[in-house]
Amino acid sequence: MDKVYESIDEAVADIPDGASIAISGFFTAGTPVHLIRALARQGAKDLTLICQQVGPGNEDLTKLVLQGQVKKAVCTYPFYRSVTKGANSAFEKAVRAGKIELEVYPMGTFIEKLRAAAAGLAGFYTPTGVGTVVETGKEKRVFNGHEYLLETALKPDYALVYAWKGDRTGNLVCRKTARNYNPEMAAAARITIASVEEIVEPGELDSDKVHIPGIYVQRVVRVDRQDYIPTID
Amino acid sequence: MVQKSEKLTGLSRELMTLRIANELEDGTYVNLGIGIPTLVSNWIAGRDIVLQSEIGMLNTGPLAGPEDVDQDCINASCQAVTELPGACYFSDCESMAMIRGGYMDVAVMGALQVSEKGDFAGWNNPERGLPERIGNIGGSMDLAVGARKVILAMMHTTPEGALKIVKKCTYPLTAVGVVHLIVTDLAVIEVTPRGLVLKEVAPGITAEDVQSVTEPKLIISPELKEMQL
């Protein structure tokens, strides 16, 4: 079962207009920048992006906004922390102008929605957000004397993920905090496209140390490691 | 908003965070939020305290120097960090699960407002003028409901003198009734079912000073003392 694509552009070529795409990365760490750039070259429109933020630590997503490819975003920490930087950001301007629809969830709810989809669950009850604006319009239920909100599963059409090493069958290994959203996003999507720094033959990864089982990954493409200094402000 | 013109000089941010570090017990797992809470890490070197980073790391070490930056090892503020012996990594989903699941002994968080009931607001300043229900929530709401003890680290008033310790929060809430302790540049205040109890004052600050910049009526602890630093 060889899932390797030779070309990054080929790996994202079939993403249609209107697709929902989970894009991993916690600010700079574990972000599939090469795949995002390929998506910008490919030009699919009316996209729904499911990602931590659009902009801070991940300027490549801004290109999708500037090219008018984004219809909606589902995020947890969408904006720059700096009010000034935010006011100048293409994404924040588009959200303020109503050109991009934005849903924001607490971080644990955001990623649990994807995990639920990956695990075949319709939703889950969480204590997070009770008594805040997050509960607006959601079912509230009491278990053991405590209130919980019903949050529903979120299943993306595609996931773009990043890993340190992968084998030809899609087993992936991440490094340190670059793991972040990658495992659950990879598992949740119908089609997961993994960018990896090194592709090895089956059997070469330590089978006890695989972070993302290959069953969740449909395409693997090798990318060059891009060096940078982590920062958001 | 209530304004107070008189300017009280209390502790520096560094000393506030020293007071918070003294509050932490050995053998505990602690998450430090963005901003002032991050400074607590400067005071706990060598102590038996494990710092969690919500990106998915336990035993987070000090910030990395220029030579030992690893771009794959960052904290929730996107700063390169080091790892201490015993560190481990996990997904963000598992990180949030361990936070919600009640495994974090203490979360130290910043706040824009806190009420006498222990409600607090920290994720969205309405003055930014974003559309309703939109803002940078991040891990704040999960930490607020999940941590066994929530300590707020905040300046007692805004730079303009507006009160932040109020009867009822007017800003969008992070969580309801979760705050245990408030440490400011002027005071240490405990949230109790009876109300806010003033336990300590900064050097040179009186209980009357603290009350003058606090909207709810403070209960003065019989053991009121000066902060030990």
The per-residue pLDDT for B205 is: 97
Total domains in chain A come to: 1
To the nearest whole angstrom, how far is the Cα of B80 from the nearest Cα of chain A? 6
Question: Residue B46: pLDDT above 80?
Answer: yes
The per-residue pLDDT for B184 is: 98
Q: What is the tens place of the pLDDT at every residue in A102-160? A: 999 999 999 999 999 999 999 999 999 999 999 999 999 999 999 999 999 999 999 99
Q: Which domain holds residue A95?
A: 4-118+155-222
Q: What is the dihedral of CA A231, B128, A69, A18, to 10 degrees?
A: 110
Amino acid at A59: E
To the nearest whole angstrom, how far is the Cα of B214 from the nearest Cα of chain A? 24
Which helix (H) or strand (E) element contains residue A195?
Answer: strand A191-200
The tokens for A102 are 């934005």
CB pair distance less than 8 Å for A176 and B70: yes
CB pair distance less than 8 Å for B96 and A228: no
To the nearest whole angstrom, how far is the Cα of B209 from the nearest Cα of chain A? 32
Map out the domains of chain B as residue ranges. 13-49+102-226
The per-residue pLDDT for A150 is: 98
Q: Cα(A91)–Cα(A100) distance, rounded to whole angstroms? A: 8
- Over residues A31-44, the mean pLDDT reads 98
Would you put residue B205 in left (φ > 0), alpha (ψ -120 to 50) or beta?
Answer: beta
Q: For residue A176, give the nearest of B89, B137, B176 by CB distance.
A: B89
Question: Would you say residue A8 lies in a domain?
Answer: yes
Question: Would you say residue A206 lies in a domain?
Answer: yes
Q: What is the tens place of the pLDDT at every residue in A150-171? A: 999 999 999 999 999 999 999 9
Q: For residue B172, give the nearest of A108, A111, A133 by CB distance.
A: A133
- Over residues B70-87, the mean pLDDT reads 94
Q: What is the tens place of the pLDDT at every residue in B159-218? A: 999 999 999 999 999 999 999 999 999 999 999 999 999 999 999 999 999 999 999 999
Q: Which of B25, B54, B116, B215 is catalytic?
A: B54
The per-residue pLDDT for A233 is: 65
Q: How many CA atoms lie within 13 A of A52 on its CB side?
A: 28
Q: Is B12 helix (H, G, I), strand (E, B) or coil?
A: coil
Question: Would you say residue A131 lies in a domain?
Answer: no
Which chain A residues are within 8 Å of B139, Cβ to Cβ? Answer: 76, 106-108
> What is the pLDDT of chain A when averaged over all its residues?
96
The per-residue pLDDT for B1 is: 46
- Under DSSP, the state recorded for B162 is B
Inform me whether the C-beta atom of residue B73 falls under 8 Å from chain A C-beta atoms. yes
The interface predicted TM-score of the complex, written ipTM, equals: 0.96
Question: Would you say residue A141 lies in a domain?
Answer: no
Question: Residue B2: pLDDT above 70?
Answer: no
CATH placement of domain B13-49+102-226: 3.40.1080.10
Q: Return the closest-CA partner of residue A187 out of A123, A110, A114.
A: A114
Inform me whether the C-beta atom of residue B7 falls under 8 Å from chain A C-beta atoms. no
Residue of B141, B169, B170 to mutate, interface with A, max A Cβ within 10 Å: B141
Q: What is the tens place of the pLDDT at every residue in A207-225? A: 999 999 999 999 999 999 9
Question: Would you say residue A127 lies in a domain?
Answer: no
CB pair distance less than 8 Å for A132 and B100: no
Q: How far is CA A157 from the centre of its chain?
A: 11
CB atoms within 10 A of CB B223: 8
CB pair distance less than 8 Å for B131 and A81: no
Q: For residue B136, give the nearest of A81, A109, A180 by CB distance.
A: A81
Inform me whether the C-beta atom of residue B170 falls under 8 Å from chain A C-beta atoms. no
Q: What is the CATH number of the domain that holds A54?
A: 3.40.1080.10
Q: Is B223 a catalytic residue?
A: no
Inform me whether the C-beta atom of residue B72 falls under 8 Å from chain A C-beta atoms. yes
Question: Would you say residue A174 lies in a domain?
Answer: yes
Q: Is B99 helix (H, G, I), strand (E, B) or coil?
A: helix
- Under DSSP, the state recorded for B69 is -
Q: Which residues have a Cβ under 8 Å from the Cβ of A111 and sit 6 or more positions away?
A: A76, A181, A184, B91, B92, B93, B96
Q: For residue B131, give the nearest of A30, A77, A96 by CB distance.
A: A96
Q: What angle do CA A36, A42, A45 make, to 5 degrees?
A: 90
What sign does the CA torsion over A214, A218, A222, A224 have? negative
What sign does the CA torsion over B37, B42, B47, B53 have? positive
Inform me whether the C-beta atom of residue B91 falls under 8 Å from chain A C-beta atoms. yes
> What is the pLDDT of chain B when averaged over all its residues?
95
To the nearest whole angstrom, how far is the Cα of A182 from the nearest Cα of chain B? 8
Question: Residue A228: pLDDT above 90?
Answer: no
